Every structure is written in C-alpha cells, then in structure tokens.
C-alpha cells in the first residue's frame, strides 16, 4: 500500500471515530426529551444550535489551516470534540445547558471535516480525488449511523448517559491515531497566479502536452460563477440532508411507537433502523464519487439529488400506514440523500487554486451548513404546530415537514444544470462535467 492510501485509510478511521458524537444526541433524544420535558420545538433548536457551532468555526478553520497547517487544526478540533461530548453526560441539566454543550461540541467538530478534505486533496490528484473524498465522506456517514447503532440500544438498556459516553470516548482514540500516524503533504507547486482555477502541476503538464511548440499555453477560463453555482447547489443539498438525518431517528421511533411497541422498544428499534438508513449512504456516497470521476460531476449531482428529494415529498405522509413501507422508502432516501455530498467538495477543489483550497472548502461548508441551522429548526417548529407541542414520539403528523425538505432540495439539481452550461465546468474531472 502506497503512502497516500495509508493516509486515506487512517483519515477514514479517524473520521468514523471523531464524528460519532454528531448524532448521539438524536440517538438518545427520546430519553433526554422525557427526562428534561423537551418539546419538538426545543429539540429542533438543539439540533440547529449544533449546526450553528459548525458554521461559526468552519470558515475560520479553513483560513487558519491554509496558514498553520491542516494537521494542527484537525488534531485540536478532534480533541475538543471528544472533551465536550464527554462533558455532556456530567453537565447536562436542562434545555439551556444542553443547548450550550451541543453548541460547544458543534464548534469543535466544525474544524475537522473541511481541513480533512484539504489534507486529502493535497495527497490525491484530480483524477483520484473524487474517490478519496467520497471515501472520507462515506466515513462521515458511517459515523452518523454508528451513533444511532451504538447509542440507541445502550441507552435503552442502561440509560442515555451510557449511550452518549459510548459514542464520545472513542473520539479520544481518533486523537491518538491522528497525532501519531497521519502526515500532511505540502501542496504541489503551481504555475501562474493564485485564483479560482485548478492549476497544479498535473493540469499544467497536460495542457502543455496539447500545445504545439512556440505557442502560448492557454489558461483555463475562470471566475466566480462556477464556485458560486456549485456552492448554491450544495445549499439545496444541505437543506435536505442534515434535517433528514437529525429527525429520522425520532420519526422512526414515533412509527414503532404507533404500531404498539413500548416506549423503550420504540426508541431502541427506531434508533437501529435510523442507523441502517443513514449507513445506507456510505456505499452511496462512495459509489457516486466514482461515478462522478467517470461520467462527470454535475451529472452525478443531478441524479443523486433528484432521486432523494422526490421521495421526501411523500415520505412523512406514510406515518402509521405501513412500517415496512416506511423502512423501505427510508432506506432509499438514506442511499441517495448523501450520495452527491463529496462531489460538491471535489468539484470546488477543481475550480480553485491549490493555495486557497482549504479556505474555499471552509467557505463553501459555512454557506452550505447555514442551511443545516435553519432546516432542523423549521422542521421542528412545523412539527410542533401540527401536533400541538407534544413530544416527537407522540407526534402523528409528519408529512409537511418532510415535504419542505424536498422543496428546498430542488436548488441542488437546478444549480447543477445551470453550472453545466458554463465553460468553467470543464475544469471539473478534466472536462467530465
């Protein structure tokens, strides 16, 4: 195994461990909501404030990572994620303390993903970058599903504190692995000025090889339009994705409860099914990363986004009709909802200079994640209004909240279609737009 592949494997392992706390709150939500009398609206606020923390820090960490190195940023971010997630067990005492602790955990976790992609981007050429970032994003998906898979049954058996601890302490293992075994590779030398063009050595050599001796090497077309459109597309994707992931556990728990399962059984089985639904996205994002390398970035975005958002239009209306059908459609959405996530990142790295890659990824992440602040809160508020403020487990009207996720997600394929018409889209995947 060559060095860059070892780095990828280690980064994948660290991502799985370090992002387990992301949805450990959702995984034990029914127990925490019951103990602290949280409404659907308060639950939505807690889910959203975690994303607020991410958005606040992600731009700054991208900027800092470009100057002090991605490894330093990722190491400290991983450590503080472990610290604050573990502290949640001992300091959570009500709505406001939970809100603050989840904000602090979100602030910490926000400095891991974008710098991690920048670190990997420096190890992999554009021809292989989609697969690498796809694998890294798949690891993130496994972490989200793993939170439900681990925390839900343990919380049902031993209490929510054990569920939280079981998904917080492993992050310290990621801290150790990352510090001792992951290395940072300096960006390859670039030709020309820094700007919004992928212009590293690999691309330069290919362009020079196609130009006859004595003729000037043509510069790729540039500008802000391409990065802006792929980021706008990403906003639609993120509106749907994190609200779906954050609420799929409570929704599945409510479905099991509606079919006669006890509260503890519904929480356990609902969490397990939610885990499988989220984990379905791991092969989805990896496969579509490969497809994007072969067939093109925007084509893959259009297919993935459309396949997911259409199902959101009717998913919530299936509540109480057929548990089997809800699970099947949930698994379908789980596969597609994350499938195009890595492509937005990969496409952006190919339209910006290597020396502003982490900053650009951080900016895109902050803009995209701003949707993840709003969407879970809107979902919770609408759910609250429709169900007269009952707890999520007792809610019976879920149709409109999921429908709103699908409507917002329409921005993803629409912007991808517009991006295809721009000359700058030819920079992605060596012309496979």
- pLDDT of 1 reads 67
- pLDDT of 222 reads 57
The percentage of the chain sitting over the pLDDT mark of 70, rounded to a whole number, equals: 91
Cα gap 188→192, rounded to integer Å = 13
CB 164 within 8 A of CB 38: no
How far from 238 is each of 233, 365, 389, CA to CA, in Å? Answer: 9, 9, 26
Question: Cα angle at 131 between 148 and 405, to 5 degrees?
Answer: 45
Cβ burial of 127 (10 Å; 0-12, 13-18, 19+) is exposed
- pLDDT of 350 reads 85
Residues 98-118 pLDDT 10s: 999 999 999 999 899 888 988
Residues 325-340 pLDDT 10s: 999 999 999 999 999 9
Cα gap 15→286, rounded to integer Å = 15
190 has pLDDT over 80:
no
Structure pTM? Answer: 0.77
Residues 298-326 pLDDT 10s: 999 999 999 999 999 999 999 989 999 99
Q: Which residues is 391 bridged to in the sheet?
A: none
Place of tokens 């992609």: 117
Name the band, by pLDDT with cuts 50, 70 and 90, for residue 13: very high
125 has pLDDT over 70:
yes
CB 91 within 8 A of CB 119: no
Question: Average pLDDT for residues 28-55, to the nearest whole number?
Answer: 87
The phi, psi pair for 200, rounded to 5°, reads -85, -175
Lowest model confidence (mean pLDDT) among 119-133, 195-209, 294-308: 195-209
Task: Decide which of 3.40.50.2000, 1.10.600.10, 1.20.1250.20, 3.40.980.20 is the CATH code for 3-431.
Answer: 1.20.1250.20
Residues 204-257 pLDDT 10s: 444 344 334 444 433 334 577 888 999 999 999 999 998 999 899 899 999 999
Q: Which tokens belong to 387?
A: 């169900």
Question: Average pLDDT for residues 119-133, to the nearest whole number?
Answer: 81
């Amino acid at each position: 195994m060559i060095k860059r592949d070892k780095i990828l494997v280690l980064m994948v392992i660290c991502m799985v461990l370090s992002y387990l706390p992301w949805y450990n709150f959702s995984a034990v939500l029914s127990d925490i909501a019951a103990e602290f009398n949280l409404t659907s609206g308060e639950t939505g606020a807690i889910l959203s404030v975690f994303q607020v923390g991410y958005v606040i820090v992600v731009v700054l960490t991208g900027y800092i990572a470009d100057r002090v190195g991605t490894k330093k940023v990722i190491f400290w971010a991983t450590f503080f994620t472990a610290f604050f997630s573990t502290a949640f067990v001992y300091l959570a005492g009500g709505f406001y303390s939970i809100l603050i602790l989840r904000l602090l955990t979100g602030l910490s976790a926000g400095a891991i993903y974008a710098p991690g992609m920048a670190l990997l981007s420096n190890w992999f050429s554009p021809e292989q970058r989609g697969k690498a970032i796809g694998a890294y994003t798949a690891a993130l998906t496994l972490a989200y599903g793993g939170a439900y898979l681990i925390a839900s049954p343990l919380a049902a058996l031993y209490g929510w504190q054990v569920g939280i601890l079981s998904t917080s302490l492993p992050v310290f293992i990621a801290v150790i692995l990352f510090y001792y075994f992951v290395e940072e590779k300096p960006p390859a030398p670039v030709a020309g000025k820094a700007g919004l063009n992928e212009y590293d050595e690999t691309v330069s050599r290919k362009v020079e090889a196609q130009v006859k001796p004595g003729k000037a090497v043509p510069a790729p077309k540039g500008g802000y339009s391409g990065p802006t459109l792929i980021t706008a597309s990403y906003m639609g994707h993120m509106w749907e994705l994190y609200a779906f992931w954050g609420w799929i556990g409570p929704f599945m728990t409510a479905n099991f409860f509606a079919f006669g399962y006890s509260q503890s059984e519904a929480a356990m089985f609902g969490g397990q099914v939610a885990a499988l639904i989220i984990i379905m996205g791991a092969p989805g994002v990896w496969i579509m990363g490969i497809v994007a390398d072969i067939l093109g970035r925007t084509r893959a975005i259009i297919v993935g986004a459309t396949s997911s958002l259409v199902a959101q239009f009717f998913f919530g209306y299936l509540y109480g009709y057929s548990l089997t059908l809800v699970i099947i459609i949930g698994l379908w959405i789980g596969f597609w909802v994350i499938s195009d996530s890595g492509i937005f990142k990969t496409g952006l790295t190919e339209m910006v200079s290597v020396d502003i890659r982490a900053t650009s990824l951080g900016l895109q992440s902050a803009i995209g994640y701003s949707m993840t602040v709003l969407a879970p809160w809107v979902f919770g508020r609408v759910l609250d209004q429709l169900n007269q403020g009952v707890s999520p487990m007792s809610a019976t009207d879920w149709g409109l909240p999921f429908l709103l996720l699908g409507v917002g997600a329409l921005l993803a394929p629409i912007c991808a279609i517009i991006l295809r018409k721009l000359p700058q889209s030819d920079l992605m995947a060596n012309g496979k737009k």
